[in-house]
Chain A
Amino acid sequence: MSLKTIIKNDLWHINYIVPFTAKYLQYGKLGYLKRALPVIAKVRVVKGAGKRDVSKDILELMHNVNLEVIEDSSFFYWIDEYKTIAVKGNVLSNFCIDYDRVVNGSFNDIADKAVSIGGIYGERAAHVKEAINALRNRTIVTLKQYCADHIRRARSILEFEDILEKPAEHFHEGLQRVLFFNQYMWQTRHGLNGLGRLDKILDRLYQNDIASGAIAKDEAYEMVKDFMNTLNKWYVFKSSSILGDIGQIVILGGLNPDGSYFCNDLTYMFIKAQAENRKPDPKTFLRVCKNMPEELLGVAVDALKSKTGSPLFSNDDVVIPQLKQFGMPEEDIYNYCVSACWEPFIPGKSLDQNNIKAFDFFKPLDKALKENSLSDIRSFNALMTLYEKSLEKEWKAFLKGLDEYIWACDPFVSMMTDGCNEKGKDISLGGAQNCNYGVTSIGMGSVVDSLLNLKELVYDKKKYTLQELNDWRQKDYKGEENVFQELRSMPKRYAHDDEESIGLTNRIIQFSNNVVKDYINPIGGKIKFGLSSPFYIRDAKGVAADFAGRKKGDPYSTHISSIDATYTEVVNFAGKLDYSGHAFNGNVVDFFVSPSFIENNTEKFKLFMKAAINIGYFQMQMNIMDSKTLIDAKQHPDKYPGLIVRVWGFSAYFNDLPEDYKNVLIERAIESEKAA
């Protein structure tokens, strides 16, 4: 069992401090201490009376959190970042509750159903019901005491009086409910909290208010902007491993079961509001497909020009069939959202922890070459067999490591998730309908390019032996700079529409599918994996050099990308990958596009985006940024306080990033400008 797992599972009474300070590690040891110590000094753990139980702790917490009114928001939203609870196990994160249930339904009814199950499950549900009601009641008291504006006070108080008892009736009220339960999730240590399909969830309320004349469209738009600005608060507290890694993602649009496309005024409003607000979080995620309105795709491309990295595009024509073939019920798959970044997730039905760990596809090659006699590897087929044997071993050890995870008891999320009531079982113990694990991955580009270079140099041209190339690689090419440059200058083939590269990538994916297909985790779920990952810098640090221009510790390429491929090449590549089986846990094509390029060629870029959907990429995100700006920002951060970049699946202020992330982004921007 890893040290990290021991801390989370067994030292839970002190591990509560970790969520508050992980993001400060990017500043180095002294920087960490400078920032973390004041936070550590202020944070208080709240404990319930009597025998320790998470639901009693939650109840006590909701009676004690400090509540204040934010003056520059028409909503009530407050997180007491210095009070928390200590919980055994991993608190569910990278997660989205089904806000539809509390916006268009009654939370108290939901809670009562859970309470009626009885036993410890029911008791915990009762405590959580009491806790959330207490939070509501204290909010009303706070509003009455502190609101200066009479009209605002009246509306907010009315909204809170009914917030748990019956479906919302108005648009602003619906947005307030999302904020209230979102606040609860952050307050109870859940991180990377997604927001779900807000255009769909709020559709009824919006349409009714517009039809009755209660609000006009421009008022609704201002509410959406206000809502997004409100969620942006507590930026540092909410950040996970790096500042900006917050995960508040609004899912918009989407294919309907009958083949039509869902979107409404709110779809457009959220996209425009996010672009206008120019903040890195919350972010938007647009589900696209062939028959979506061109106008909406055009609006999304225009939003990219705000240079905040939103929206991310998810191709329903590709994603939904994969969810179906995995065995997810038809009625659920069209409602998919994502975990914090891009991993498909069904809200209200799932525990699915989709960013549980990153698998490195390059490491098995590194290990295979270190641990075996290479003189017997006389053909490329033999090399592939060696790699696959090592890959299988690596997957099996990796999967075994996933069994260590214990999930924190979560009565609130349990009552909000199908399956838990029915089984009378907390979500952490496997109560949910879906209990799958999702894995991200790194190193696929490195291993594919390395294998193809070895094929050419060792087996086709017989220029070097495998042994000598590997010996040089293991010395990090010291004294063999010419060889390193030769390997580095060989055409990159991963993420290009090169049939051999596509074939090899699919071979590795399908081999992996075969290895993981029988894995069942301790709570009865399966595994999914994808070709994107947050950890292309962090997890590459200790990894040996490859055969394609990476030296020891250099970052891997980001998601599905190549430094020298044109946009059409990368999309063509992505369109030919096999995402079937278990390989659909997020597969993001990642681009750099210079702002002048998109400004001067907007209409053609829209054509490209439309064609790309038909080509069949899985998901796509882009950084609208040029190298000149990034280089200047690195040297003169004061000039660019608001410069936002896309990092892995989130956006962040460039100035907040660790130096190695800045360097990677600069290098990628330079290379993409050359390729363009």
Chain B
Amino acid sequence: MTSMPNEKILITKIQRFSLHDGPGIRTTIFLKGCSLHCPWCCNPENISHEIEPYWRNGIEGKWGNWYSQEELYNEVIKDKGYYIGELGKEDFFIKDKKDIARLPGGVTFSGGEALLQIKAYKDLLEILGGEGVHRTIETSLFASKEQVRNAIENFDLFYVDIKMLEADKCRKTLGGDKNLYIDNLDYLIRSEKPIIFRVPIIRGYTDSEENIDRIVQLILKIKSSNILKIELLKGHRLGEQKYLDLKKEVPKMKDISDEELLLMKKTMSSTGVHTEIHKI
């Protein structure tokens, strides 16, 4: 393997045997640092851009470790034998959701916001791509255009969040610039890279009729053949312990019923894009 520049990447976790972060069996790399602060975030340890302490059962630990690209490569490659699927790298540019299941496993970059440190790991992406490892990113798209460009050049599949599309609420609640998001989304769409939209349905935040309608209108406007499907995600409390460990206030989320979720699914399906409820 060619040696890579020594700039380090701040990671909170490398999760092997990930089954919900893309096709096949994957290794998911969780990067620390986010451009947003979503109230429902289930990975609070990934919001801050710095190493931070936590306490569990009286024992102190820390979230965040610096990895070089080479160290990350060595981790990702451990499970290369499991990144199997029908399609080879020449066929990664899929257009049909039926082909998602035919894609091999590989590596997924998540977070936090995976785009923020992409400059530090893009050489790694290039090498993995050259070796035929399928590369997926989970992103909110709240990043710079250059970061999005690097991603377009080096990822094979994009999971893109659609959260709050009313500009004021997006800024106040999430800390994000909606216009930046729309510009980046437009840029990504024009690349024709395969995209899966992820829509978190969170009571009191993203579930309003107005927000859902804006999402539907956005997708209708895109009319792109590279949108493979929409996944609706219910909020969950799996991250609660992490808030307690970080001595942060646990967000009080109200549940969305399965019936309501089904109604949302029906509404989203009116875009003509296949919509499903993503199970964790």
Contact residues of A with B, CB < 8 Å?
489, 497, 566-569, 572, 600-601, 603-604, 607-608, 610-612, 614-615, 676
Interchain residue pairs A-B with the least CB separation, the first 10: A611-B82, A566-B17, A566-B16, A568-B79, A568-B17, A604-B19, A615-B81, A601-B19, A568-B16, A611-B84
Determine if A569 and B16 form an interchain contact, defined as CB atoms under 8 angstroms apart: yes
User: 18 extra interchain contacts, Cβ-Cβ under 8 A, other than A497-B78, A607-B85, A608-B82?
Assistant: A489-B59, A566-B16, A567-B17, A568-B25, A568-B78, A572-B78, A572-B79, A603-B101, A604-B19, A604-B25, A607-B24, A607-B84, A611-B25, A611-B82, A611-B84, A612-B82, A615-B81, A676-B17
Chain A CB within 8 A of B105 CB: yes
- The residue in chain B whose Cβ has the minimal distance to the Cβ of A604 is B19
Chain A CB within 8 A of B279 CB: yes
Cβ contacts B14-51/A at 8 Å (1 or 0 each): 00110100001100000000000000000000000000
With A and B bound together, what is the CA distance between A610 and B59 in angstroms?
40
Beyond A489-B59, A568-B25, A600-B279, is A607–B16 a contact (Cβ under 8 Å)?
Answer: no
Min CB distance, A576 to chain B, in Å? Answer: 11
With A and B bound together, what is the CA distance between A489 and B59 in angstroms?
10
| Secondary structure type dominating chain A contacts | helix
With A and B bound together, what is the CA distance between A640 and B218 in angstroms?
51
With A and B bound together, what is the CA distance between A676 and B85 in angstroms?
22
With A and B bound together, what is the CA distance between A608 and B19 in angstroms?
10
With A and B bound together, what is the CA distance between A608 and B17 in angstroms?
9
Determine if B78 and A607 form an interchain contact, defined as CB atoms under 8 angstroms apart: no
With A and B bound together, what is the CA distance between A572 and B16 in angstroms?
12
Min CB distance, B239 to chain A, in Å? Answer: 14
Q: Choose from A567, A600, A603, A610 the contact partner of B84 (Cβ within 8 Å).
A: A610
Chain A residues near B59 (CB-CB < 8 A): 489
Chain A residues near B24 (CB-CB < 8 A): 604, 607
With A and B bound together, what is the CA distance between A566 and B82 in angstroms?
13
With A and B bound together, what is the CA distance between A604 and B83 in angstroms?
11
Determine if B105 and A607 form an interchain contact, defined as CB atoms under 8 angstroms apart: yes
Interchain Cβ contacts under 8 Å between A and B, 12 examples: A566-B16, A568-B17, A568-B79, A568-B82, A604-B25, A607-B84, A607-B85, A607-B105, A608-B17, A611-B25, A615-B81, A615-B82
With A and B bound together, what is the CA distance between A418 and B57 in angstroms?
62
With A and B bound together, what is the CA distance between A569 and B27 in angstroms?
12
Min CB distance, B30 to chain A, in Å? Answer: 15
With A and B bound together, what is the CA distance between A607 and B134 in angstroms?
15
Q: Choose from A600, A604, A611 the contact partner of B81 (Cβ within 8 Å).
A: A611
Determine if A608 and B16 form an interchain contact, defined as CB atoms under 8 angstroms apart: no
Q: Which of B80-111 contact A (CB under 8 A)?
A: 81-82, 84-85, 101, 105
Min CB distance, A606 to chain B, in Å? Answer: 11
Min CB distance, B199 to chain A, in Å? Answer: 20
Chain B residues near A608 (CB-CB < 8 A): 17, 25, 82
With A and B bound together, what is the CA distance between A569 and B24 in angstroms?
17
- The residue in chain B whose Cβ has the minimal distance to the Cβ of A572 is B78
Chain A residues near B279 (CB-CB < 8 A): 600
- The residue in chain B whose Cβ has the minimal distance to the Cβ of A605 is B19
With A and B bound together, what is the CA distance between A601 and B24 in angstroms?
10
Determine if A607 and B17 form an interchain contact, defined as CB atoms under 8 angstroms apart: no
With A and B bound together, what is the CA distance between A676 and B25 in angstroms?
13
Cβ contacts B199-241/A at 8 Å (1 or 0 each): 0000000000000000000000000000000000000000000
Chain B residues near A615 (CB-CB < 8 A): 81-82
Chain B residues near A601 (CB-CB < 8 A): 19
Min CB distance, A590 to chain B, in Å? Answer: 16
With A and B bound together, what is the CA distance between A600 and B85 in angstroms?
19
Min CB distance, A561 to chain B, in Å? Answer: 15
Chain B residues near A497 (CB-CB < 8 A): 78
Min CB distance, A674 to chain B, in Å? Answer: 11
With A and B bound together, what is the CA distance between A614 and B82 in angstroms?
9
Chain A residues near B81 (CB-CB < 8 A): 572, 611, 614-615
Of the listed residues A497, A566, A603, A676, the one surrounded by the most CB atoms of chain B closer than 10 A to its CB is A566
With A and B bound together, what is the CA distance between A676 and B16 in angstroms?
9
Chain B residues near A569 (CB-CB < 8 A): 16, 78
With A and B bound together, what is the CA distance between A497 and B79 in angstroms?
10
Chain A residues near B79 (CB-CB < 8 A): 568, 572
Min CB distance, A616 to chain B, in Å? Answer: 9
With A and B bound together, what is the CA distance between A144 and B82 in angstroms?
59
Min CB distance, B7 to chain A, in Å? Answer: 26
Chain A residues near B78 (CB-CB < 8 A): 497, 568-569, 572
Chain A residues near B84 (CB-CB < 8 A): 607, 610-611
